[in-house]
Structure 1
Amino acid sequence: MRFPALRRPHSLAGQLFAMQAVLIAVVVAGYALFTYVSDQRQAETAAARQATAVARSIADSPSVRSAIRSADPTARLEPYALQITRDAKVDFVTIMTPTGIRWTHPDERQIGKPFLGNIGPAQHGRTLTETYTGTLGPSVRAVTPVSDGGRIIGLVSAGITVETISERVQDQVTALLGVAGGALLLGAVGTYVVNARLRRHTHGMNATELSRMHDYHQAALHAVREGLLMLDGHYRVALINDGGRELLGVDEEEGVIGRSVADLGLPAPLTGALLSSEPRVDEVHLTASRVLVVNTSPVSGGEQRGTVVTLRDVTELQSLMGELDSERGFTQALRSQAHEAANRLHTVVSLIELGRAQEAAEFATAELELAQALTDQVIAAVREPVLAALLLGKAAQANERGVELVVSQDSRLDDGLLPESLSARDLVTVLGNLIDNAVDAAQGGPGARVTVTACANASEVVLRVTDTGPGVDPAHADLVFQRGFSTKPAGPGGRGLGLALARQAVVRQEGALTVAESDGDGGGGAVFEVRLPLRAACPVPEGGVR
């Protein structure tokens, strides 16, 4: 046995079209009925006024009074009444005695018979209007007295039959039905056009499907960990999920929906990317505490309807990459040192084979003393193992690039002094990027040297990196910490990220990072100073930073 396939419910646009069509039809029909009843009443009222005017005009006519006083009123009044009936467009004019005996009537057989209707008010000098069924059928009539010297000498009645009134209304009803049909047709066409547009926007889905899609949309929106931001055509926030609020540092209570991106207080480069009409693919941007990968895409549909923005947090990844770069540099330095050690060993062996044992011993001892002196200097000044390893690696890297890296005698950073809140990762990020930047600046200059000072006490940790490079233009003192700023040509991976990451780590630790011109023995160059609060400050050495 086969069951008939279930019919898919009509789309939301189709349901609305049916409802609106029925509603328009009911409204038009109701209006037509109301207008018909109203026109009928108005026609009866107009007929009563017309009959009253005709009756009073006849009653006020001197010729009518004269004819009533004549010997044969009917002979003189009947032609007059028939002419008035034709000219005034009424159905009958009856002139009668004060007691109601007809002198005139459209039907000659009714002359001399009593008038059918109420004549009491007219006999007392008042005009009466009523709807009454007489010899011609139901009619709207008026009865008024004919007075002569204060005495009532006759009565006049003029009327219009209900059938005639209905014929007059019928013409109006025909026009009304035409207008109603036109209104119904116009309303149907307008409704169809509106609902056709609605059908395109809802993709032919019905109310149940739209509701289900909304539920899935909300569940998916808040389930994803990545940030999702939707902007309208005017770059106002139309939608943002929980991840987006967290990554952008926006509180739910701030009422973000409807606000422009420019009013969210985001960093200028990130705001510029969100306001751009061009798509952005995997751009790295920094906020106060995060490194974000931003992708933007305009909403498709043939017109600029808005922008979809996705945000990914790569703060941890970027920090790990920084540590990995440091470790890779340290490994390369060790490999380079191993290569140099092999060269030195071959040199020592060759000197021994040539019978120059004393010179071989002096050569080997001098190299060992130099390497051990550097290691001893670093270990004595910085006993924090991660930073000590970083400095040794950076010293080897700098030496390969023709730059001397010196640890200042004012340095003192013991192991265990730093609290858990100040992670070694942040220190590596800050100091490693500052040293790399200083080596880049000093490289190629005469007497190229980078001096590092690291000290701490119960109040704060102070890190200073001084180079012998060209220094920093005071006008760029703030720009150097922005992502993308660099005075050197950009490589394949881009430049201008190291100092920005360093500043971000400093801000995360509620510290301060500044840059100034060096006044030390190197003559020129820049000095970067980091102060990370702990709990009296590290003394600045006399004679400036070395």
Structure 2
Amino acid sequence: MFRGPRSVASHVLIVLGAVVALVVAVALVTAYVQATRLVEDAAATRVTDVARAIASTDDVREGLASPDPASELRDFIERGRQATQTDFIVVMSPDGIRYTHPNPDLIGQHFLGTIADAQAGGTVIEQYTGTLGPSTRAVVPVLVDNEVKGLVSVGIHQSRVGEQLTRTLPQALLPGLAAAGVATLGAAVVGQRVRRQTLGLNATELRRLHDHHEAVLHAVREGLVITDEKGRVQVVNDEARRLLDLPPDAVGREASDLGLAPDLAALLAGREQHVDVPHASGGRVLLVSSDVVQRQGRAVATLTTLRDRTELEALTGRLNTTQSLADALHAQAHEAANRLHTVVTLIELGRPDDAVAFATDELRASQRHGEAIAAALEDPAVAALVIGKSSQAAERGATLDVDPDAHLPAGLLPSGAVVTILGNLIDNALDAVAGQPGGSEKAVLVDAQASDSVVTLTVADTGP
């Protein structure tokens, strides 16, 4: 059966398991070596102490000085061996001829082992295979008036040292085995955590997911910002950096520390859903949408998208301006048509003098009104808008005038912006007075004042 590549968590668990096994194996070997050394050192220390104690007794000194050392020492040495629980105690001459031995047949023969240092007054400690098998032994001199009168060797079989080691090993190895269990449990916990965080994906799948993530992140034309549960920016694409003018180190910082407007920063880090909320940032008009990212029913992040509406808003403003001017021209054309029909009718009725007087009076009134507006509003586009709106107001039974003290020099503000703002204000005012009952005054007054870098546009009406 085909099996796909192992997940990242499986690789981590395998590596951790191998490391744990290696560390535990080294620890166990080290513990075994240390335990072996401790047991052997304890055995060496024990036989050395026993040998020195036996060599310092008067019974041994007197026995060595007697005519028959073997007979004198045999019972004493055997009692000492049993009391000290050693395997053999051999008393010998300075030349190494045995006086005592567990095997009586070997008494009188030369001692097998190293005795040179003991003959010189020192101590010999060694592991040696003699007549009784492998043993740990010590050889010390018997000194009388600083003169070596004999030698004493005490030994313990290696089998007994091994038994002691066997009894000691559990105590030495138990901590290592406990550490192995704890390490194995820790490796399993880490592996499970890695599996949960990587969603059980293998390395190839994670690499593919990362590549797709990077491609999508930088390909979308909308700004994209992702913050974690603490409000820190985790992901931000190039478009979002441009729209919000974010610093290079934005990732990892809290949204409130990025120099954004407080309401926009709160939206980026919030936990509520928003759709196309307008925000102004850096001279741009942005539509901001956000939603909460959940995993297993728990909110883990907030995803926010940003769309630049600056150009669309500018085009909409221009369209509104054009529409306002078209409406004003239509109103003027309609008013001119009415006047022309009146003049033609007067002529047809044989009253040319009245026709001339009517046309002259209307022309003068229109010129005075237009000149007054042009003098107050020096921008031709703004003046044309107000003149057109005056005709539109007249059609609706209202009057539109400019305050005598109004003055707006040309070039202080973009014509399009002033036309859009002032046109909307006048339209609102005309709508307000249009609802007035018959006989009520329906008047709209436009005022414009400029001082230093501040321009104030005011539209007053007699509506409710």
Scaled by the length of structure 1, the TM-score of the pair is: 0.70
Q: How does 1:481-520 map to 2 (within 5 A)?
A: none
Q: How does 1:274-313 map to 2 (within 5 A)?
A: 274-301=268-295, 302-313=297-308
Deviation at 1:269, TM superposition (A): 2.8
Q: What amino acid is aligned across from residue 120 of structure 1 in structure 2? A: A
Distance 1:291 1:275 in 2: 20
44, 48, 71: which one pairs with 2:40?
44
Structure 1's 47 and 162: CA in aligned 2 closer, same or farther, altered over 3 A? same
Deviation at 1:461, TM superposition (A): 8.5
Q: What amino acid is aligned across from residue 219 of structure 1 in structure 2? A: A
Deviation at 1:158, TM superposition (A): 1.1
Distance 2:114 2:387 in 1: 129
Conservation of the 8 A alpha-carbon contact between 2:222 and 2:307: yes
Whose helix proportion is higher, 1 or 2?
A: 2
Distance 1:364 1:44 in 2: 135
Deviation at 1:234, TM superposition (A): 2.1
Distance 1:393 1:39 in 2: 108
User: Which residue is equivalent to 2:262?
Assistant: 268
Q: How does 1:268-417 map to 2 (within 5 A)?
A: 268-301=262-295, 302-329=297-324, 373-378=368-373, 384=379, 386-392=381-387, 395=390, 404-406=400-402, 411=407
Aligned pair 1:78/2:70, yes or no?
no
Conservation of the 8 A alpha-carbon contact between 2:232 and 2:255: yes
Structure 1 residues 184-232: Cα deviation after superposition (integer angstroms, max 9, x where no partner): 3432232222212211221121112212222222222122221111222
Structure 1's 327 and 292: CA in aligned 2 closer, same or farther, altered over 3 A? same
Match of 1:99, SS state, is: coil
Deviation at 1:12, TM superposition (A): 0.8
User: Which residue is equivalent to 1:14?
Assistant: 10
- Range 98-107 or range 74-83, more displaced: 74-83
User: Which residue is equivalent to 1:466?
Assistant: 458
Q: How does 1:437-448 map to 2 (within 5 A)?
A: none
User: Which residue is equivalent to 1:527?
Assistant: none
Structure 1 residues 159-194: Cα deviation after superposition (integer angstroms, max 9, x where no partner): 222232222223333455554444334322322222
Conservation of the 8 A alpha-carbon contact between 2:227 and 2:269: no
Conservation of the 8 A alpha-carbon contact between 1:319 and 1:425: no
Q: What amino acid is aligned across from residue 466 of structure 1 in structure 2? A: T
Conservation of the 8 A alpha-carbon contact between 1:439 and 1:450: no
Conservation of the 8 A alpha-carbon contact between 1:454 and 1:461: no
Match of 1:239, SS state, is: strand
Conservation of the 8 A alpha-carbon contact between 1:404 and 1:450: yes
159, 167, 171: which one pairs with 2:167?
171
Deviation at 1:13, TM superposition (A): 0.8
Distance 1:65 1:396 in 2: 147
Conservation of the 8 A alpha-carbon contact between 2:332 and 2:388: no
Please, which runs of 5 or more residues in structure 2 have no aligned partner?
A: none
Distance 1:404 1:130 in 2: 125
95, 99, 123: which one pairs with 2:95?
99
77, 99, 109: which one pairs with 1:113?
109
Deviation at 1:357, TM superposition (A): 11
Conservation of the 8 A alpha-carbon contact between 1:441 and 1:468: no
Distance 2:103 2:266 in 1: 97
Structure 1 residues 44-64: Cα deviation after superposition (integer angstroms, max 9, x where no partner): 222211111111111122233
Structure 1's 433 and 161: CA in aligned 2 closer, same or farther, altered over 3 A? farther
Conservation of the 8 A alpha-carbon contact between 1:96 and 1:104: yes
Root-mean-square deviation over aligned CA pairs: 4.3
Deviation at 1:376, TM superposition (A): 5.0
Structure 1's 142 and 377: CA in aligned 2 closer, same or farther, altered over 3 A? same
Deviation at 1:30, TM superposition (A): 1.8
Distance 2:34 2:172 in 1: 12
Q: What amino acid is aligned across from residue 232 of structure 2 in structure 1? A: R
User: Which residue is equivalent to 1:256?
Assistant: 250
Deviation at 1:133, TM superposition (A): 1.4
Please, which runs of 5 or more residues in structure 1 have no aligned partner?
A: 470-546
Q: How does 1:48-197 map to 2 (within 5 A)?
A: 48-197=44-193
Deviation at 1:247, TM superposition (A): 0.6
Deviation at 1:325, TM superposition (A): 3.6
Conservation of the 8 A alpha-carbon contact between 2:285 and 2:308: yes
- Range 299-308 or range 76-85, more displaced: 76-85
223, 234, 240: which one pairs with 1:238?
234
Structure 1's 462 and 23: CA in aligned 2 closer, same or farther, altered over 3 A? closer
Distance 1:230 1:18 in 2: 34
Conservation of the 8 A alpha-carbon contact between 1:413 and 1:454: no
Q: What amino acid is aligned across from residue 258 of structure 1 in structure 2? A: G
Q: What amino acid is aligned across from residue 280 of structure 2 in structure 1? A: L
Q: What amino acid is aligned across from residue 126 of structure 1 in structure 2? A: G
Deviation at 1:28, TM superposition (A): 1.0
- Range 312-321 or range 438-447, more displaced: 438-447
Q: What amino acid is aligned across from residue 232 of structure 1 in structure 2? A: D
Q: What amino acid is aligned across from residue 387 of structure 1 in structure 2? A: V
Deviation at 1:154, TM superposition (A): 1.9
Deviation at 1:423, TM superposition (A): 5.3
Deviation at 1:256, TM superposition (A): 1.8
Structure 1 residues 101-128: Cα deviation after superposition (integer angstroms, max 9, x where no partner): 2222222332222211111221221112
Aligned pair 1:25/2:21, yes or no?
yes
Deviation at 1:391, TM superposition (A): 3.1
Distance 2:321 2:360 in 1: 30
User: Which residue is equivalent to 1:508?
Assistant: none
Match of 2:134, SS state, is: strand
User: Which residue is equivalent to 1:544?
Assistant: none
